[in-house]
Structure 1
Amino acid sequence: MIGNAISLKLPYDQRMSSALRIAQGKFGRVALLDMDRPLVRHAHPHCHVLLKVEGADTQFSVRDDLVPLTYDSAVLVNAWEPHAYAHDARRPPTIILALYIEPRWLAEFRPNWTASGRPGFFAQAAGAITPRIRVLADDMARAMVAEPGNRSLHETLLSALMVSVIERFTPWRETAVSLRDLARGPSIDRRIRTVAAQIKSDPGAVRQIDDLISGSGVSRAQFFRLFETSFGVSPRVYLNAARLERAVQAVSDSEANLSAISESLGFSVPAHFSRFFHDHAGSSPSGFRAVTRMPV
């Protein structure tokens, strides 16, 4: 269990999920989340690993299955794999270490780990962790609390943790990314690729999915079929993922006020943006901003 020197039970004003700490870098981001409410069904463009640090055992919905998150097991979510936090209101909160990892950073360890950005990198949605993963996860959580601005330390600990996770849960020696593999993979319709690029470049400009459909030149039914075949998620989930990543970047790195960020992302009312952010990231945008700007 967590050592006695540092308690992760930090005070909070009301019963709602919050970010205790956020670590960011070229690796992506790591969030230490105090969770006591569900998250909506969503997806990320990264591989996503969830580890319990403290509190009640809990569970996630990954695609259509409920999988446990305990002190001895991890939840493993592939890039663009729909998932949701299925909190049980009868249970106490859970502190979760949530890893959102960039494929390009993983490729610095082994080139074929760029496959982490594609479906199927993790063969299963949950699995028993090793004692080493347990120790590394606890060390990472304690370091984020004790030294919130120490990016070098965070990246060192995260490197060891992710190597252990991948070696435990993926057939990484057989995972290859070659031109032959890519050529054999499903191709993305040119019209759908154009729509996806439009969403990524300016998600706030997309007011209605119907606007994307009308500009694509395909029927509504064909649009949804082609999009889900290409990316594994619906256009709405893809749009929300793009909005969230843009929101996280703006909240963390810019000086813009939250109302301006809300408007730039297409939310007519700031409260709608705050609810969207909380339902997808597990924290209010103001709370998220506060913990990303803690001093070294």
Structure 2
Amino acid sequence: MAKDRQLRIVHGSFGRATLHRISGPLVAHAHAEFHLIFKFGGTDATFKIDGHAQTLTDGCALLINPWSTHAKSAKEGSPSLLLALLLEPEWLGRTLGVDNPASGLRFSKTLARMDAHTAASLTELGTCLARDLAADSATGSIDCEAAVAELARRVSACHLQRRSMTEVLANTKPLDYRIKRATEYIRSHAGENPNVETVASAVGMSRSRLFHQFKACMGISPQQYLDWIRIGIATRLLAERHASIGDVADQLGFSAQGHFTRFFVQHLGLSPSEFRRIGMPGDAHGD
């Protein structure tokens, strides 16, 4: 890895914070966490969020709600230096004193300009992530987690809305016990990398019916849900450092380590070895 990659990852009870340079695209994906992305330098970065293109420039933030499909576009020029937060809904709820955060909280806009206080909190977190700390430095992890909490509070005060029960019920997607069974099947068989036909057969649905009903109930495709589960398993195993990268690839059903590496880069913008090398553990893992 080049010395100017400036890549740092911190795991904690909040989820994950990543500071790194990225120039390539990221595939369309979605996840259960709140996602905040900030630009620290380099080229402006363009993302497509729920079908709408948004360009991240200096002084702005991308605010992505749980299960919103998003992808990063490739762009010519120098890489973008981005700071990304993946925040666990339960942690955000505790931090803000809000019950049922996964459905009760929503960012009011996708692209937002930061005020001076938020920008100051972002600078503090960036400084913490860029600090040259030993991987086992407990103090560094605690400092960064406090900085994440302060930044989350600043952004939330300006751009996160608490939805009333009426709004929550109005926006609740339809329930289908077969789709619940499908999500359970995907979770328990993620290591086998089941295709849509296999999942559909397991829950007694046709492929097309499963796809459309899954999209209606979950807001994403079965494949995107499976990808989220597999990335979560991969990041947890890599952060724990007990298994080799080849073993992680095997556990997730990849026929070759190179296929796993490509999948990982397409979703996170860095390789499994980079993720493991610069990751700094906190008191808990968010994936």
Structures share a fold, TM > 0.5?
Answer: yes
Paired position in structure 2 for 1:133 = 118
Q: Distance in 2 between matches of 1:294 and 1:220?
A: 40
Paired position in structure 2 for 1:46 = 33
SS in 2 for 1:223: helix
Paired position in structure 1 for 2:285 = none
- Answer whether contact 1:50 1:74 (CA < 8 A) is retained: yes
Q: Distance in 2 between matches of 1:184 and 1:71?
A: 33
Paired position in structure 2 for 1:105 = 91
- Answer whether contact 2:59 2:113 (CA < 8 A) is retained: yes
Q: Evaluate the alpha carbon distance shift between residue 72 and residue 293 of structure 1 in structure 2; reply closer, same or farther with a 3 A threshold.
A: closer
Unaligned ranges ≥5, structure 2: 283-287
Paired position in structure 1 for 2:253 = 266
- 2:273 aligned with 1:283: no
- 2:158 aligned with 1:158: no
SS in 2 for 1:121: strand
Unaligned ranges ≥5, structure 1: 1-9, 13-17
- 2:234 aligned with 1:244: no
Paired position in structure 1 for 2:128 = 143
Q: Evaluate the alpha carbon distance shift between residue 187 and residue 77 of structure 1 in structure 2; reply closer, same or farther with a 3 A threshold.
A: same
Paired position in structure 2 for 1:21 = 8
User: What letter is aligned with 2:89?
Assistant: P
User: What letter is aligned with 1:155?
Assistant: E
- Answer whether contact 1:19 1:288 (CA < 8 A) is retained: no
Q: Distance in 1 between matches of 2:104 and 2:227?
A: 19
Q: Distance in 2 between matches of 1:206 and 1:260?
A: 15
User: What letter is aligned with 2:156?
Assistant: I
- 2:156 aligned with 1:171: no
Q: Deviations over 1:194-245 (max 9, x none)?
A: 1102222341123322100111112222211110011110011111111101
Paired position in structure 1 for 2:21 = 34
Q: Which has the higher contact order (CA 8 A, sep 6+)?
A: 2
Which residue, 64, 75, 79 being the options, matches 1:93?
A: 79
Equivalences, count = 276
Q: Tell me which moved more, 45-54 or 196-205.
A: 196-205
Q: Deviations over 1:15-65 (max 9, x none)?
A: xxx670001111001111211111111112101000001212221111111
- 2:201 aligned with 1:201: no
Determine what percentage of the aligned residue pairs are the same residue.
28
Q: Evaluate the alpha carbon distance shift between residue 261 and residue 234 of structure 1 in structure 2; reply closer, same or farther with a 3 A threshold.
A: same
SS in 1 for 2:67: coil
Q: Distance in 2 between matches of 1:200 and 1:281?
A: 20
In the superposition, the TM-score normalised over structure 1's length comes to: 0.86
In the superposition, the TM-score normalised over structure 2's length comes to: 0.89
Cα deviation, residue 130, structure 1: 0.9
Q: Deviations over 1:66-88 (max 9, x none)?
A: 10111111111111111011131
Paired position in structure 1 for 2:222 = 235
Task: Provide the alpha-carbon RMSD of the alignment.
Answer: 2.3
Q: Distance in 2 between matches of 1:141 and 1:103?
A: 22
Cα deviation, residue 119, structure 1: 8.9
- 2:111 aligned with 1:121: no
Q: What are the equivalent positions in structure 2 for 1:72-87 lying under 5 Å apart? A: 72-87=59-74
Q: Evaluate the alpha carbon distance shift between residue 95 and residue 119 of structure 1 in structure 2; reply closer, same or farther with a 3 A threshold.
A: farther
- 2:56 aligned with 1:69: yes
Q: Distance in 1 between matches of 2:119 and 2:40?
A: 9
